[in-house]
Amino acid sequence: MNNLFSQLNKTELQIYDKIQAKQAISIDDGIYLAKNSSLAFCAFLANSIRERLYAKKAFLNVNTHIEISNRCVNKCKFCSFYRKKGDPDCWDLEIDDVLRFLESKSEENLTEVHLTGGLHTEKTSQFYCDLFTEIKKQFPQIHIKAFTAVEIEYFAKSDGLTTEEAISKLKTHGLNSLAGGGAEILDDKIRRKICPEKTNSETWLKVHKIAHQTGLSSNCTMLYGHIESVEDRIYHMAKLRELQEETNGFNCFIQLKYKTYGNRLNIHTEINLPEELKTYAIARIFLHNIPHIKAYWPMTGIENAALAMSYGADDMDGTISDSTKIYSMAGSIEQKPQISKAEMEELISLHGFVPVERDSLYYEVH
């Protein structure tokens, strides 16, 4: 470490002091780290925070993902998942399909179902209320984490409800928290280029704010490694940090590295592993008020996700049960994302961390 310190300049020493004093770093500090500092220094800072918060714990969840349908009225350029009705690889699950699927997983002791889909013209919020009612009847112990802010806003518009009314209706029927997707980069100039039909930045933030005020927590994401700059990433995180200051409703931050296969964005290179690891570290450093940094392995691969635990991340999401296709369709090496709890624990231990099963709100499961 002495060697590392001798190489630091004045700005880096000031950032180090802020972290020691548990202060937030500034936007300029974040940009400085991302553009000028070494991976080793960022990892060192991120780990000092991670260890202060969780010592050697690395969290995992026993969960499954359900993507009800890949039909979507939007055509986001980075998305490899959406299909039109009638396309050969378009799917559309019904309530019974979901219940049968969950029944087939009953021996896994799932504590969470993560449920999302596209913007579907026929599946209204009432469909999901009925689905949640049935899930809660048969599997009352399962936490339902569902929908991106984009889906919530779509339900509200289609059903003629306010955002508050749409969230309350879903919550009354069993919705326990919101997923973090749809944030992409919270900059409307970028959104107009990569996802022109999608809800704008202000609306995405507004939906999460209302959810938090209604008593639902949520996650937040960042889709990076496409047309955005390093500065855009930090400004994005700053918006999340600002909302968190107000509501304290985000449980975790998830960086989603843009995957190039099967979409229309026309970018053919992915960011490399060192940059990915540095982004975890900067997220941990910059998002001082967001408790958890998740390394989502169906996107980055199980080995990289485990490695991210040494770069500031503390959570590996869950066992998944081979039920998400967003990333396999976008070219992830994880074509069948499924891992047992025991395998996940072993991998975490191999990296020198202590595996801890958590529920969706990060309470430890014993």
Residue 116 phi, psi dihedral angles, 5° rounding: -145, 180
DSSP string of 216-251, one letter each residue: -EEEEEEEESSS--HHHHHHHHHHHHHHHHHH--EE
Regarding 330 and contact with ligand V47 (CB under 6 A), the answer is yes
Q: Which amino acid is at 3?
A: N
Regarding 152 and contact with ligand V47 (CB under 6 A), the answer is no
How many Å apart are CA 200 and CA 177, to the nearest integer?
Answer: 21
Nearer to ligand V47 among residue 5 and residue 261 (C-beta): 261
CB of 201 to ligand V47, least distance (A): 13
Regarding 249 and contact with ligand V47 (CB under 6 A), the answer is no
CB of 133 to ligand V47, least distance (A): 23
Nearer to ligand V47 among residue 43 and residue 149 (C-beta): 149
Strand 143-146 and strand 112-116: pairing? Answer: parallel
Instruction: With beta carbons less than 8 A apart as the criterion, state whether 249 and 217 touch.
Output: yes
How many Å apart are CA 242 and CA 226, to the nearest integer?
Answer: 24
Whose structure tokens read 């958590």?
358
CB of 244 to ligand V47, least distance (A): 15
* Beta bridge mates, 236: none
Which two tokens mark 325? Answer: 């296709």
Regarding 69 and contact with ligand V47 (CB under 6 A), the answer is no
Residue 358 phi, psi dihedral angles, 5° rounding: -125, 160
Nearer to ligand V47 among residue 174 and residue 180 (C-beta): 180
Cβ atoms < 10 Å from Cβ of 312:
28
Report the residue from 117, 180, 249, 337 that binds ligand V47 according to the rule CB under 6 A. Answer: 180
Q: How many residues bind ligand V47 (CB under 6 A)?
A: 21
Residue 41's alpha-carbon distances to 96, 229, 273, in angstroms, are 51, 21, 16
Report the residue from 37, 61, 64, 80 that binds ligand V47 according to the rule CB under 6 A. Answer: 80
Residue at shortest CB range from ligand V47: 181
Nearest to 353 by CA among 311, 296, 301, 297: 311
How many Å apart are CA 86 and CA 91, to the nearest integer?
Answer: 9
CB of 362 to ligand V47, least distance (A): 12
Nearer to ligand V47 among residue 169 and residue 191 (C-beta): 191
Report the residue from 120, 143, 233, 259 that binds ligand V47 according to the rule CB under 6 A. Answer: 259
Instruction: With beta carbons less than 8 A apart as the criterion, state whether 3 and 40 touch.
Output: no
Overall residue count recorded for the chain in this entry? 366
Instruction: With beta carbons less than 8 A apart as the criterion, state whether 310 and 47 touch.
Output: yes
Nearer to ligand V47 among residue 24 and residue 267 (C-beta): 267
Regarding 117 and contact with ligand V47 (CB under 6 A), the answer is no
Report the residue from 37, 201, 217, 263 that binds ligand V47 according to the rule CB under 6 A. Answer: 263
Regarding 348 and contact with ligand V47 (CB under 6 A), the answer is no
Regarding 256 and contact with ligand V47 (CB under 6 A), the answer is yes
Regarding 78 and contact with ligand V47 (CB under 6 A), the answer is yes
Regarding 118 and contact with ligand V47 (CB under 6 A), the answer is no
Window of 38-46, 87-95, 250-258, 344-352 that interacts with ligand V47 by CB under 6 A: 250-258
Window of 12-20, 88-96, 258-266, 347-355 that interacts with ligand V47 by CB under 6 A: 258-266
- What is the torsion angle, in degrees rounded to the nearest 10, for the CA atoms of residue 232, residue 245, residue 52 and residue 320? -70
Nearest to 336 by CA among 363, 297, 310: 297
- Binding string, 24-63, against ligand V47, x = CB under 6 A? ----------------------------------------
**Span between the terminal Cα atoms of the chain, in Å:** 37
Residues 208 to 247: which contact ligand V47 by CB under 6 A? 219, 221, 223
Nearer to ligand V47 among residue 68 and residue 79 (C-beta): 79
CB of 79 to ligand V47, least distance (A): 5
- What is the torsion angle, in degrees rounded to the nearest 10, for the CA atoms of residue 27, residue 278, residue 244 and residue 28? 0
Residues that bind ligand V47 (CB under 6 A): 78-80, 148, 179-182, 184, 219, 221, 223, 254, 256, 258-259, 263, 296, 317, 326, 330
